[in-house]
Each structure stands twice: as structure tokens, then as C-alpha cells.
Amino acid sequence: MLTSSVLEPPSVRETHSSPGGGTFRDPEGRLFRDGNRILREIYPQHSSPALAWLGSPLAQRWMRQRRMAPTTILASEPGQPALLEHERIFFPSYPWEWSPGQWIEAASLTLDLCEEALEQGLILKDATPLNILFSGPRAIFVDVLSFERRDPKSPLWIAYAQFARTFLLPLCAYVYCGWPLSATQQRRDGYEPAELAPFLPFFRRWRGPLLSLVSLPLLLQKKSRLSAERPQVSEEVASFAVRRLLRSTRKKLNSLLPSARASRWSRYTETAWHYNAADHEAKQAFVRNTLGSIRPARVLDVGANTGVYSRIAAEGGADVVAWDTDVQAAGLNWKAARQAGLSILPVVADFARPTPAVGWQNQESASLLDRARGQFDCVLMLGVLHHLLVADQIPLAGIIEQLGEISTRWAIVEWIPKGDSQFDELCRGRHTLYSHLTEDYFVETLSKRFTVRGRDRLPNGRTLWLAERIG
Amino acid sequence: MRWLYAGIDLSFTTLLILAVLCALAQPAHAYVDPGSGLLAVQIIGTTFAGMIFMLRRRVQAFFRGMTVHFGSKSGKDAE
């Protein structure tokens, strides 16, 4: 009979207070920022295995393939803390801002790396979405010290429970209960089977992935009296069992691939009746030509929907971050970017209600605005301004102020005049409240932070503006 | 007498309800070791994997034995 202790991966144990600042949960070291640089200190007693791992052919290959964050060793004196520098990933995003497809991508990468590490006698000791960032549409593993030498006689993958709680159970909650993945912002350690069970359809709980992820763990959780010993078996059996576990985990993950759902915005571009072909063509031509002349390196597309304009910007060579509140639309944008290999990072985010900072002292995960401020040389706000003004009731001056904080230079903005069918629909008869929103007022407000450099009127009466930040 | 029967009936019903409630009582999860159930499932899966491994080995050994046996026999016939 196999017995084992309930072991948690080391990084979730709080053993260091990290007096120098930065992360504090990993007993082996800490990650911190120095200006624009991302540095990692490894404590002396842990530095030599970590450095050996980083120098191994497997780690080097993953870094070349950009599946693991490229890392340089800055200092490695014996008996002293080692210092590493990680390549900075442009615009870090968090799991609570990802679409379901991105969650699956991040989980697949985690399993891929764990499986490949087995070949070298290593295993992943941490398996949480917080170890992944997205570089454009591709997932990249950033917690480079999460690999350890595997006990060849242990048939267990100790991080499996963490993988199930932080990847699989949130996906189960999304697929079977409709709980938003954004709710994981307050669930750093994911969900326990017992938290999900009461909300799952009873018969469904006894089939498919839910049987082994929720129902059986729940039954065994009550009765488990596990001893402190790790099970030990022959090396062949141990290796067979771990590989089999990884295969079955991948099967569970694939069964949680959510089917594409239609949402309010996911077919907006195809069904927008207030735009005809000529309007679409004129708008795309203006954006393409403008981006072609200003040639921005980093573009933020606010209200990106399924990414028509994000793709125009990325095709012009820019690194694009695309914000949209609609999970399905962001998911379609990510899928298209992934297939086309374009540098677009779709994020489920709201300009009007930006993702807050969370974690200990509100400093573990930065807010959306802290990450965006001064990071983009061009911001696109196409077909979104009237939503912010009317639906979210944000004052125009506030929006322009925020735009000036995020963009270091350019803004391309679409102005939707009163009388536009979409504007009127959002007003719902409260036209007097918005009577001040004229094009002259828009230009006057915009001119406080930006200089107008270009303008185009679409056949449907909407106007497109190219503005350059003052100062 | 009727009130006595009614009282007994009521007590029986109360006990029955209490028994059903006890049977359906949810465990307190606040102090359950996190992930212990998932680990227990992994251990069961591992035990199962071990059994498959041993069974597969025996089947392979059996067929290998058959091959050696018949292989050498056919070899002799050929001589």
C-alpha cells in the first residue's frame, strides 16, 4: 500500500520575509525590480543547484525557444547569493485577465515542460498559472527555479494538487458553473474540490474530469489519514506512474476546452449594421495609413473587440496589447493572433474599471494602469469613446487625461457624434445629460493634452483623429 | 390514547429527520488539509498504474517465453 504526506510545493510556504523587497514566498530566493530590470537573488545555500540547472542544455534550449524566460547570470560567487537577470516581458498579464484559450495554453506549457524535464531526471515543483506570462500570444514560463531533481523512486508528482486547484478547478468552474475566470484574482491558491462541489450538476459530478477532480477527492479528503512517508517504488514503476499521471492530467485539461460561445461582442464586426463596407474600408485605411506613417513600436488597442485593428498594428511591426471587456471577443483575438503568429497580447480588461492591484500590501500583482502608464507610444480608441462617456459615465476630460498618462506620444481616436444610432441607443432617451458632447467640445478637451495632427470623416458621420501628446 | 400515538409519531418523525440530516451532514472543511483528497486520488492512480505496469510486464514475459520456445523449436525443425 502506498502512503504519502500531504506536501505543498515550496513556493507556497511563507518562510522568508524578504527584507530587501520583492517576492517573499520562495524559500530559495526573491524576485525584485531595479528600475526597468527584473532581477532574482538566489540565497547562497540554494545557488549552486540553481546555477547548474540554468546552465543545463535543457534550460538553455527552452530559453532559446522562448518557452522559458531568457535569463542571464550576473553574479555567482561561491558562498554568496547568486544574481540573475530575466529578460523583461513587455506588459505582464495575470491569469484573471486571460481568456479560456490562454488558460489552456498556459496549462499545456506547464505540462509540456514537466514532461520534458522528466527526461533529464527533473520535475516541476510548482504548477500554478502565476508562473506563466504571455509574450504576445505565446505563453512563457517565468519562474525559472521551479525545477528540482526528481526522486527516481517516487511515483508522485507533488505539484499535481496545486496544478488541479489552480488550473483545472477554475476551468471546471468556468465550464460547468459559468464562474468567470477573472474571479481567480481573489483565489491565489485556486479552488478546493469542496468549494466547487455544491454548485456542480449532481450527475455530472460522477462523470468525466469532475469525478477525479471533485467527487473522489471530496470523498477521500474526509477519510484520508496520510502518514508522513513518501511512497517509494522501483524506478521503472515510478517513472511509468508519473508519465501516466501527466498523460491523464493532459486528457482532463483537453476535456475542459470550453466550446466557443457567442457573446454580445464576439460577432460585432460582422454584424455591426451601422457600418457598411465603405465605412469599414475607410476606417481601416485611415488606421493602416496613419500607423504606417507614425510607425509606433508599442500599441495599446482599447476596446479591441476581436482584434481587427490590433492585427493592422501588429502587421505593421508593432507589439500590441489589446484590452477588451468581452471574454469571448478577447479569446477570438488571441486565437487569431496565435494562428497568424502576430505580436498581440489580448487581455480581458476594462478601461473604465481597470484591474486593481492585489496581494500582500496590494503589491504582489500590479494594477492595470500601473502596468500601462507610459508604456505605449500609440493608443487606439476606436468605437469605444461613446461607451466610456455614456454607458460608464466617465467625463471626457478624465478619459483624455488617462489617455495622456498611458500614451507617450500618439493617440488615434474615433469620435461618435450625437445622432449616431449607437450613441442614441446608449443614451436611452437621456439626451439632455449628454447635450454638451459636441465635436467642438471633444476637440477643445483633446487639445488640452494633445495636438491634432490628422482627421478623417467616415461616410457614416463618425470622425477619426490622430493626436500627438503635448510635452 | 390518540394524543399518545400522535406524540410517538411526532418523536419518530423528528428522529427520522435528525437521522437524515446527520447522514447528509457536510464535513467542516475549514481545517481539512488542502489538496489531501487530490493527493489521495493521485496515490490511487499511482497504485493502479503500478498494477498495469506489472501486468504488462508479465504479459510481455509470457509472449517472450512463447517466442523463445517456438522460435527454438522451429529452429530445430529447420536443421
DSSP string, A78-109: TTS-EEEEEPPPSS---GGG--HHHHHHHHHH
Residues of chain A above pLDDT 90, percent = 77
- Helix, strand, coil shares of chain B, percent, nearest 5, are 85, 0, 15
Instruction: Place A208 in a pLDDT band, splitting at 50, 70 and 90.
Output: confident
| Mean pLDDT computed over A7-25 | 51
pLDDT at A24 over 90: no
Instruction: State the pLDDT at residue A454.
Output: 96
Suggest the residue from A221, A233, A235 to mutate for an interface test with chain B (most B CBs closer than 10 A).
Answer: A221
Instruction: State the pLDDT at residue A272.
Output: 61
Backbone angles phi, psi at A348, to 5 degrees: -85, 100
What residues of A are in contact with residue B27 (Cβ under 8 Å)? 194, 221-222
Asked if B50 and A155 come within 8 Å (Cβ–Cβ), the reply is yes
pLDDT at A14 over 50: no
Helix H or strand E segment including A329: helix A327-340
Beta-strand pair A147-149/A344-348: unpaired
Beta-strand pair A122-124/A376-381: unpaired
Is B73 inside any structural domain? Answer: yes
d(CA B15, CA B18): 5
Suggest the residue from A158, A169, A220 to mutate for an interface test with chain B (most B CBs closer than 10 A).
Answer: A220
Work out how many CB contacts closer than 8 A connect A with B.
Answer: 109
d(CA A147, CA A120): 11
Instruction: State the pLDDT at residue B11.
Output: 55
Structural domain total, chain B: 1
pLDDT at A466 over 70: yes
pLDDT at A230 over 90: no
B29, B36, B45 ranked by CB distance to A226: nearest = B36
What residues of B are in contact with residue A220 (Cβ under 8 Å)? 36-37, 40-41, 44
Instruction: State the pLDDT at residue A124.
Output: 96
Q: Name the residue type at position B25.
A: A
**Widest CA span of chain B, in angstroms?**
103
Q: Minimal Cα distance from B41: which residue of A?
A: A217
Candidate ranges A58-67, A265-274, B35-44, B50-59; pick with highest mean pLDDT = A58-67
User: Sign of torsion, CA A232 A237 A239 A245?
Assistant: negative
Q: Minimal Cα distance from A9: which residue of B?
A: B35
Instruction: State the pLDDT at residue A271.
Output: 60
Asked if B39 and A3 come within 8 Å (Cβ–Cβ), the reply is no
Instruction: Place A9 in a pLDDT band, splitting at 50, 70 and 90.
Output: very low
pLDDT at A464 over 70: yes
Edge-to-edge strand list for the sheet holding A82-86: A29-34, A37-42, A82-86, A71-75
Backbone angles phi, psi at A122, to 5 degrees: -115, 165
Q: Quote the pTM value.
A: 0.85
In 3D space, the residue among A210, A219, A164 whose CA is nearest the CA of residue A189 turns out to be A164
Instruction: State the pLDDT at residue A382.
Output: 97
| Mean pLDDT computed over B23-46 | 66
d(CA A331, CA A362): 28
How close A16 comes to chain B (CA, Å)? 21
User: What is the torsion angle, in degrees rounded to the nearest 10, for the CA atoms of residue A362, residue A366, residue A372 and residue A373?
Assistant: 40
- Better pLDDT: A139 or B35: A139
Instruction: Place B25 in a pLDDT band, splitting at 50, 70 and 90.
Output: very low
Q: Which domain holds residue B50?
A: 2-25+35-78
Q: Minimal Cα distance from A166: which residue of B?
A: B35
Instruction: State the pLDDT at residue B34.
Output: 57
Is B30 inside any structural domain? Answer: no
Query: Which residues lie across from A134 on neighbouring strands?
Result: A139
Is B56 inside any structural domain? Answer: yes
Q: Which residues of A66-102 are buried (b: 16+ CB within 10 A; e: fewer)?
A: ebbbbbeeeebeeeebbbbbbbebbbbbbbbbbbbbb
Q: A149-158, A302-311, A385-394, B63-72: lowest mean pLDDT where?
A: B63-72
